[in-house]
Amino acid sequence: MNVFLYAAICFVVLALMLMIRLIKGPSVADRAVAADSIDILSDMALILYALHTGRGIYLDIALITAVLGFVGSTLVAKYLEGKL
C-alpha cells in the first residue's frame, strides 16, 4: 500500500476519535470546533486518496466540502455570537 493511503486512513481514524468530542462536548463551542476539525481531516483524507488513486474527482469533492465547512462554521460562530 502507498504512503498516501496510510496517511488517509490515519486521518479517518482521527476524525472518528473526534466524534467523541462532538457527542460529549461540554459546550456548543467545543462541538463546533470538533465538527470543523472533522471536516478538515476528512478533506485531507480525500486529498490524499485522490493522490493515491490519481483521480481528480476526489479533489473536487474535497474543495466543495471545505467551502461548505467554512460556511457552516461561520454560521455557527454568528449564531453563538447572537447575531443570527
Give tens-digit pLDDT for 31-40: 989 999 999 9
pLDDT for 65: 95
Q: Confidence class of residue 11 from pLDDT cuts 50, 70 and 90?
A: confident
φ and ψ of 25, to 5 deg? -55, 135
> What's the pLDDT score for residue 1?
65
**Structure pTM?**
0.83
Residue 84, pLDDT > 80, answer no
Q: What percentage of the chain carries pLDDT values higher than 90?
A: 50
Torsional class of 25: left (φ above 0), alpha (ψ -120 to 50), beta (otherwise): beta
CB 46 within 8 A of CB 65: yes
Phi and psi at 54, nearest 5°, equal 80, 15
Checking if the pLDDT of 24 tops 80, the result is: yes
CA–CA gap between residue 24 and residue 2 (Å, rounded): 35
